[in-house]
Protein backbone atom coordinates (compact mmCIF):
# COMPACT_ATOMS: atom_id res chain seq x y z
CA UNK A 1 0.00 0.00 0.00
CA UNK A 2 1.47 3.35 -0.96
CA UNK A 3 1.70 6.26 1.43
CA UNK A 4 -0.31 8.41 -0.96
CA UNK A 5 -3.18 5.90 -1.02
CA UNK A 6 -3.15 5.55 2.75
CA UNK A 7 -3.16 9.33 3.20
CA UNK A 8 -6.07 9.76 0.78
CA UNK A 9 -8.04 6.93 2.38
CA UNK A 10 -7.41 8.34 5.86
CA UNK A 11 -8.64 11.78 4.81
CA UNK A 12 -11.77 10.30 3.21
CA UNK A 13 -12.48 8.03 6.19
CA UNK A 14 -12.09 10.95 8.60
CA UNK A 15 -14.59 12.98 6.57
CA UNK A 16 -17.10 10.19 5.82
CA UNK A 17 -16.77 7.46 8.49
CA UNK A 18 -20.37 6.29 8.12
CA UNK A 19 -20.22 6.13 4.32
CA UNK A 20 -16.77 4.63 3.64
CA UNK A 21 -14.71 1.69 4.92
CA UNK A 22 -11.43 -0.12 4.27
CA UNK A 23 -12.79 -3.35 5.76
CA UNK A 24 -12.15 -6.17 3.27
CA UNK A 25 -14.85 -8.48 4.67
CA UNK A 26 -18.23 -7.75 3.09
CA UNK A 27 -19.97 -8.70 6.34
CA UNK A 28 -18.11 -5.86 8.13
CA UNK A 29 -18.92 -3.18 5.54
CA UNK A 30 -22.67 -2.83 5.94
CA UNK A 31 -23.88 -0.19 3.49
CA UNK A 32 -20.55 1.61 3.39
CA UNK A 33 -18.50 2.00 0.19
CA UNK A 34 -15.27 -0.04 0.21
CA UNK A 35 -12.02 1.83 -0.43
CA UNK A 36 -9.87 -0.91 -1.96
CA UNK A 37 -6.33 -0.04 -0.89
CA UNK A 38 -5.03 -3.41 -2.04
CA UNK A 39 -5.24 -2.17 -5.63
CA UNK A 40 -2.83 0.64 -4.92
CA UNK A 41 0.46 -1.06 -5.71
CA UNK A 42 2.62 -1.95 -8.68
CA UNK A 43 1.11 -4.69 -10.83
CA UNK A 44 -2.32 -4.54 -9.20
CA UNK A 45 -5.40 -4.72 -11.36
CA UNK A 46 -8.24 -2.21 -11.33
CA UNK A 47 -11.75 -1.91 -12.68
CA UNK A 48 -11.52 -0.04 -15.97
CA UNK A 49 -13.59 3.14 -16.27
CA UNK A 50 -16.96 2.36 -17.83
CA UNK A 51 -16.37 -1.37 -17.39
CA UNK A 52 -19.57 -3.38 -17.00
CA UNK A 53 -19.65 -5.58 -13.91
CA UNK A 54 -20.74 -9.15 -14.58
CA UNK A 55 -23.70 -9.10 -12.23
CA UNK A 56 -27.44 -8.66 -12.57
CA UNK A 57 -28.50 -5.20 -13.73
CA UNK A 58 -25.23 -4.47 -15.56
CA UNK A 59 -23.77 -1.89 -13.16
CA UNK A 60 -20.97 0.24 -14.62
CA UNK A 61 -17.69 1.25 -12.96
CA UNK A 62 -18.27 4.93 -13.78
CA UNK A 63 -16.00 7.80 -12.81
CA UNK A 64 -17.73 10.65 -11.00
CA UNK A 65 -16.95 14.32 -10.44
CA UNK A 66 -15.94 15.75 -7.05
CA UNK A 67 -19.29 17.57 -6.88
CA UNK A 68 -21.10 14.30 -7.56
CA UNK A 69 -19.11 12.61 -4.82
CA UNK A 70 -20.21 15.17 -2.24
CA UNK A 71 -23.85 14.85 -3.36
CA UNK A 72 -23.64 11.07 -3.88
CA UNK A 73 -22.65 10.42 -0.29
CA UNK A 74 -25.75 12.33 0.79
CA UNK A 75 -27.91 10.41 -1.71
CA UNK A 76 -26.38 7.01 -0.85
CA UNK A 77 -24.32 6.22 -3.92
CA UNK A 78 -23.92 2.47 -4.41
CA UNK A 79 -21.79 0.37 -6.76
CA UNK A 80 -25.01 -0.32 -8.68
CA UNK A 81 -26.03 3.33 -9.15
CA UNK A 82 -24.79 3.63 -12.74
CA UNK A 83 -25.99 0.87 -15.06
CA UNK A 84 -25.59 -0.18 -18.66
CA UNK A 85 -29.13 1.11 -19.34
CA UNK A 86 -28.44 4.56 -17.91
CA UNK A 87 -24.78 5.30 -18.61
CA UNK A 88 -25.36 6.92 -22.01
CA UNK A 89 -28.08 9.22 -20.62
CA UNK A 90 -25.63 10.11 -17.88
CA UNK A 91 -22.91 10.99 -20.40
CA UNK A 92 -25.39 13.05 -22.45
CA UNK A 93 -26.46 14.97 -19.33
CA UNK A 94 -22.98 15.95 -18.15
CA UNK A 95 -19.38 15.99 -19.34
CA UNK A 96 -17.28 12.87 -18.89
CA UNK A 97 -15.21 13.45 -15.71
CA UNK A 98 -12.24 11.77 -17.41
CA UNK A 99 -12.49 13.60 -20.74
CA UNK A 100 -9.34 15.65 -20.13
CA UNK A 101 -7.60 13.35 -17.66
CA UNK A 102 -4.35 13.51 -19.63
CA UNK A 103 -4.27 17.26 -19.10
CA UNK A 104 -4.42 16.91 -15.31
CA UNK A 105 -2.65 13.60 -14.66
CA UNK A 106 0.53 13.79 -12.61
CA UNK A 107 2.74 10.97 -11.34
CA UNK A 108 2.85 10.29 -7.63
CA UNK A 109 6.35 11.24 -6.44
CA UNK A 110 8.67 8.26 -5.94
CA UNK A 111 8.99 8.97 -2.20
CA UNK A 112 5.20 8.41 -1.82
CA UNK A 113 5.12 5.09 -3.71
CA UNK A 114 6.41 3.00 -0.82
**What are 26-75's pLDDT values in tens digits?**
899 988 988 888 776 667 777 788 888 888 999 998 887 777 777 766 66
Can you give the pLDDT at residue 4?
Answer: 79
Q: Which helix (H) or strand (E) holds 51?
A: strand 51-52
More confident of the two residues 74 and 1: 74
Task: Write down the mean pLDDT value for the chain.
Answer: 81
User: 9: which strand partners?
Assistant: none
Q: Where are the domains of the chain?
A: 1-44, 47-105
CA dihedral angle for residue 105, residue 44, residue 16, residue 111, rounded to 10 degrees:
-60
CA distances from 87 to 41, 63, 71, 82 (A): 29, 11, 18, 6
Torsion of CA 46, 52, 58, 64, to 10 degrees: 70
- Is residue 26 within a helix (H) or strand (E), and if so which, with residue range? helix 26-29
The answer to whether the predicted template modeling score (pTM) of the entire model surpasses 0.75 is no
Per the model's pLDDT, the better-predicted residue between 52 and 114 turns out to be 52
Instruction: Look at residue 92 in the predicted model and tell me its pLDDT.
Output: 87
Amino acid sequence: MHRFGRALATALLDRFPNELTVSFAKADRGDRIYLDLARNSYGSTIAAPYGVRAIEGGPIAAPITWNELDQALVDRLTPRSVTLRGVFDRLDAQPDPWADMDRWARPVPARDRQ
